[in-house]
């Protein structure tokens, strides 16, 4: 089944994300976490691509496990900056062989000390999307940035590039994490005005430690609202309190989104089935409405 078909159903969908281990030795731990998340009846589970392409083989393995063994829809990430065009095409063919129907197409981070762009690599996500379209009947997702991509100076450029990317064959979008829902609502208004009509899944990251917040800000450049900073200031020194507060904050974001008509939400669960389970318990009656 394709994810776009699920997203078009008239009901609430909550999905989760897992990431491969840095080495093959950690694969069993990741699979065990994935198994627990699958018990929460998610709309789908996405699997990120290995940093620098190093663990990309485990992306396909985990995505196949989710689909074939857990009988849950799986979404395999595919980045192109760290791989040659031939390597990317090999990955696409492997996903097709495994019966993976859903791909999240990303440029990805440019590896340090690597000349980019090179002639043997895709330069932009829209080029990767075109390539995927030529190699099979995939459902293709892509990323979007409510606060603006860190490499673009103006939000108008973001919208223009996003419209170009969607026009190449994107079925749905997933946002970068954000912590102020008003930013998301404003972003939706702007892209709809620009004629971008595909479903948009807000990406929610439960921040359960002070170090996780710092890392998230480094990766995404997101702005933390004062309300969240107050939580960090008050509870950041206590791991247990910060975990509880972070889950409560993420739950509150999700409830607000649902109350305002958003039906499809993606949670960056960071291989933490306990955090995912607590959020779902908090939403147990809400998602039935």
Q: What pLDDT score was predicted for residue 76?
A: 98
Q: What pLDDT score was predicted for residue 52?
A: 47
Range of the domain at 235: 3-288
CATH number of the domain that residue 185 is part of: 3.20.20.220
Taking only the tens place, the pLDDT of each residue in 218-234 is 666 788 899 999 999 99
Residue 159 in this model has a pLDDT that exceeds 90? yes
Q: Which residues are catalytic?
A: 17
Taking only the tens place, the pLDDT of each residue in 65-101 is 999 999 999 999 999 988 889 999 999 999 999 999 9
Q: What pLDDT score was predicted for residue 117?
A: 64
Residue 53 in this model has a pLDDT that exceeds 70? no
Which pTM does this prediction carry?
0.94
Residue 145 in this model has a pLDDT that exceeds 70? yes
Residue 207 in this model has a pLDDT that exceeds 80? yes
Q: What pLDDT score was predicted for residue 55?
A: 54
The whole-number average pLDDT for the span 110-136 is 85
Residue 157 in this model has a pLDDT that exceeds 90? no
The whole-number average pLDDT for the span 36-49 is 97
Q: What pLDDT score was predicted for residue 219?
A: 65
Residue 54 in this model has a pLDDT that exceeds 60? no
SS in 3 state form for the chain? CCHHHHHCCCCCEEEEEECCCCCHHHHHHHHHHHHHHHCCCCCCEEECCCHHHCCHHHHHHHHHHHHHCCCCCEEEEEECCCCCHHHHHHHHHHHHHCCCCEEEEECCCCCCCCCCCCCCCCCCHHHHHHHHHHCCCCEEEEEECCCCCCCCCCHHHHHHHHHHHHHCCCCEEEECCCCCHHHHHHHHHHHHHCCCCCCEECEECCCCCHHHHHHHHHHHCCCCCHHHHHHHHHHCCCHHHHHHHHHHHHHHHHHHHHHCCCCEEEECCCCCHHHHHHHHHHCCCHHHC
Model confidence at 23, pLDDT cuts 50, 70, 90, reads confident
Structural domain total, the chain: 1
Q: What pLDDT score was predicted for residue 274?
A: 98
Q: What percent of the chain clears pLDDT 70, i.e. is strictly above it? A: 92
* Out of 102-106, 122-126, 166-170, 221-225, least confident range: 221-225
Residue 103 in this model has a pLDDT that exceeds 80? yes
């Amino acid at each position: 089944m394709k994810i776009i078909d699920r997203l078009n159903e008239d009901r609430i969908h909550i999905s989760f994300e897992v990431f491969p281990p840095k080495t093959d030795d950690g694969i069993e731990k990741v699979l065990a976490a994935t198994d627990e998340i699958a018990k929460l009846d998610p709309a789908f589970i996405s699997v990120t691509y290995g940093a620098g392409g190093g663990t990309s083989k485990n992306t396909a393995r985990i995505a196949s496990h989710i689909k074939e063994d857990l009988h849950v829809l799986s979404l395999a990430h595919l980045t192109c900056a760290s791989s040659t065009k031939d390597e990317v095409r090999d990955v696409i063919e492997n996903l097709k062989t495994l019966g993976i129907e859903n791909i999240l197409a990303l440029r990805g981070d440019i590896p340090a000390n690597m000349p980019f762009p090179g002639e043997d690599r895709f330069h932009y996500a829209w080029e990767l999307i075109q390539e995927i379209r030529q190699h099979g009947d995939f459902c293709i997702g892509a990323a979007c940035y409510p606060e603006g991509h860190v490499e673009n100076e103006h939000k108008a450029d973001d919208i223009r590039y996003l419209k170009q990317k969607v026009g190449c064959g994107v079925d749905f979008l997933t946002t970068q994490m954000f912590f102020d829902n008003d930013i998301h609502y404003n972003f939706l208004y702007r892209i709809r005005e620009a004629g971008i009509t595909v479903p948009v899944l807000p990406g929610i990251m439960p921040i359960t430690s002070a170090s996780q917040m710092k890392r998230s800000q480094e990766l995404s450049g997101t702005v933390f609202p004062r309300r969240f900073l107050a939580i960090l200031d008050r509870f950041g020194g206590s791991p247990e309190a910060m975990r509880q507060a972070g889950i409560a904050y993420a739950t509150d974001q999700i409830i607000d989104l649902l109350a305002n008509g958003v039906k499809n939400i993606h949670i960056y669960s960071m291989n933490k089935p306990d955090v995912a389970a607590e959020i779902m318990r908090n939403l147990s009656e809400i998602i039935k409405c």
